[in-house]
Structure 1
Amino acid sequence: MKIKMHSIDGKWKRYTLLNDNNMSIRFLDFGGCITEINVPDRNQHIQNVVLGYKNYQDYENNTNFLGTIIGRVAGRIKDASFTLNNQTYMIEANNNSHHLHGGSKGFHQIIWKTKPFQTENTVGVTLTHRSHEGEGGYPGTMDVSVTYTLNNKNELIIDYLAKSNKTTAFTLTNHSYFNLTGNLASPIHNHVVTIDSDTFVELNAELIPTGKKLHVENTPFDFRSGRKIADGINSTYSQNLIANHGYDHYFILNHIKQDDICIIDETSGRKLTIKTSQPGVVLYTANSSIENLELEKGRSKQHLGICLETQASPASLHHEGFPTIILEAHETYEKQTVYTFGIEE
């Protein structure tokens, strides 16, 4: 197990975590951006399986949120406003008239304080930040920590911990775009995805939840037994068309199966399983605004990566019956998502 730190232009730190299987993870203290996850295929060829910019400077204008920590609230908040304890809070409208991923100066745009650690079987870094009252328009001063841990089981463990001195809206996620073909060999059409979920949330034309939960049965959103992403990309189903030929939807997890989510790329043999304590996940298939970016292995294009944003639902601010994002004053926010990389047998 090894951990390395490298200075980027004297202003950022880049950490590399390496386990005994030659799996490695690279990330920045800026935004907590995961820039590389290097894992073997069935022939033991080690390649990067996440989208990352060729030039680190591009993370400063990272409107696609590649690899970042998202906060204070992951997802879209309708009309950039919400009401808590009979007080209405107006926050930044950075996605048409709505609020997206914490706003333009959210957690993806800060330099986190870092503290590396190493044990016999793990290496990692804890990133911390104090978010002050009114930051982004949100109530409460918050102490937030996100810990990245790599072990010899080829697991990346992300632990989220936070506390606020006032009741506030809060849900964190990581926004890495996965492409298991390795080094962006091809788009994600043939990735086979399994999600332990019976229900997804309907969106309107502005990608805002309508408040209606739909059953996955007999739709391209039924991932319970596994299906290719191409099914949704090529579908004429209204919810796929609304998402610009793909997925940008919240699934409520059953938490019944051993793994909540699984992705397999049959060509390379790579397999990613995800287990989370979060109540749901947004499946996003890079349907728009990601074209022609200069990435490490070439220019980006539509459907080049798949995000699995484990989180609670911002729809809970405006609709009943959704996993809440309300964090009560002095209550501890504690969530974990585990990404396990392996080979499909």
Structure 2
Amino acid sequence: MDISIKDFGELSGQVIQEYTLTNRQGISLSAMTYGAAITSIRVPDKNGLIENIVLGYDTLDEYVSYRPYYGATVGRVAGRIDKGKFTLEGKNYQLETNDKTNHSHGGINGLDTKIWTVKTESTENEGHLVFTYKSPHGENGYPGNLTVKVTYTLTESNEWKINYQATTDKTTLFNPTNHVYFNLSGDPTKAINQHTLALTSKYFAELKEDYIPTGTLLPVKGTPFDFTTADTVNKGFESTHSQNKLVSGYDHPFVLEHLADKPEATLYDQKSGRRVQMVTDRDAVVIFAVNTLDGRHTNEGTSEEHYAGITLEAQNLPNAINQKDFGKVTLSPDEIFQSETTYRFDTML
């Protein structure tokens, strides 16, 4: 496994470095110390043409100025928390509200804005980028000194593994994700409308007008949210369903079934033949594909079109701390948070 390093920019007097893992098949994964963010994943199409299949920027300044969460490690808590309020061990907390009246993706200065330390590890069949950040008590309103380690692994089997580990000295919230946007065409000027998606999910979370889950899980059957059989994501973009119209596409958590013989999510682009399969231990995946990318967002010198990318954000359900049936997002001092999500890359003719 080859590992290379280059300077990507400078922020607050610190040099931001980009690390690239490349396996023997020529597949590569690049990530930088700002936000522990994935900047590029290069894989071949069915004809062997290797291209970048994730959205990103050419310069650090664009990541800082636009903050689109491209490839970033998001947290402490991914998604929105209603009014930024929660109660933990009998104490009421008020977080920053950075998404109108709600708290989103960890706050104004979430994990995606931090400069992480990194070390590299390599074996014959795997390369590792181990990112670490220590979030102090009170940062963005969260209790506890939280130590976070995020390990990106690229394997010779063409897998990208994300392993999260975290500890705290005071009970807190932790529900991270990676916010990578896929465009399997390898061309960010081409929309992902005809990408097909399959999910092991029979229910999705209904959203209020401010995009906070209502607490109700709706059956996907008979709706544009049904991907139990692979279908094009375009059906949600053209849908008149109130939940699609609310967000101009998809910005919804899907509850995962974790079937033994299936990946939790499969994304496929027939024209390029590229496919990504996701396996995760998280309760849900947030599918985000909306009509908000415009000409100011560029990738490798080209403007991106609407619906230029789609996320597969593995996490537990958003606003779970305020919904008793949405699962656990608390972390106590006697626990070690561990989670792993794997994305497998291949091609189909």
Question: TM tier, shorter chain?
Answer: over 0.9
Q: Give the superposed CA RMSD.
A: 1.2
Question: Structure 1 residue 65 and structure 2 residue 69: aligned?
Answer: yes
SS at match of 1:58: helix
- Are the aligned partners of 2:72 and 2:179 in contact in 1 as well (CA < 8 Å)? yes
Letter in 2 for 1:106: G
CA distances 1:186-238 after superposition (whole Å, capped 9, x unpaired): 10100000010011000011111111110001000000011111000000001
What's the counterpart of residue 8 of structure 1? Answer: 8
Give 1:138's match in structure 2, choosing from 136, 142, 150.
Answer: 142
What's the counterpart of residue 225 of structure 2? Answer: 221
CA distances 1:169-192 after superposition (whole Å, capped 9, x unpaired): 111110011000013251010000
Question: Structure 1 residue 97 and structure 2 residue 101: aligned?
Answer: yes
User: Can you give the 5+ residue segments of structure 2 that lack an aligned partner in the other structure?
Assistant: none
What's the counterpart of residue 277 of structure 1? Answer: 281
Letter in 2 for 1:293: H
Mapped to 2, the partners of 1:4 and 1:54 lie a distance apart of 17
The TM-score with structure 1 as length reference comes to 0.97
* CA deviation after TM superposition for structure 1 residue 289, in Å: 5.5
What's the counterpart of residue 322 of structure 2? Answer: 318
What's the counterpart of residue 256 of structure 2? Answer: 253
Give 1:288's match in structure 2, choosing from 289, 292, 299.
Answer: 292
What's the counterpart of residue 262 of structure 1? Answer: 266
The residue correspondences of 1:1-345 to structure 2 (distance < 5 A) are 1-9=1-9, 11-244=15-248, 246-256=249-259, 257-288=261-292, 291-345=295-349
* CA deviation after TM superposition for structure 1 residue 297, in Å: 4.5
User: Can you give the 5+ residue segments of structure 1 that lack an aligned partner in the other structure?
Assistant: none
* CA deviation after TM superposition for structure 1 residue 61, in Å: 2.5
Letter in 2 for 1:5: I
Aligned length in residues: 344
CA distances 1:7-44 after superposition (whole Å, capped 9, x unpaired): 23461111011000000111101101111100000000
SS at match of 1:314: coil
Letter in 2 for 1:176: V
Mapped to 2, the partners of 1:305 and 1:8 lie a distance apart of 23
Letter in 1 for 2:82: K
SS at match of 2:325: coil
The TM-score with structure 2 as length reference comes to 0.96
CA distances 1:36-95 after superposition (whole Å, capped 9, x unpaired): 100000000000000011222211134311110001000001101111111111111000
SS at match of 2:202: strand
Closer, same or farther: CA 55–286 of 1 in aligned 2, 3 Å = farther
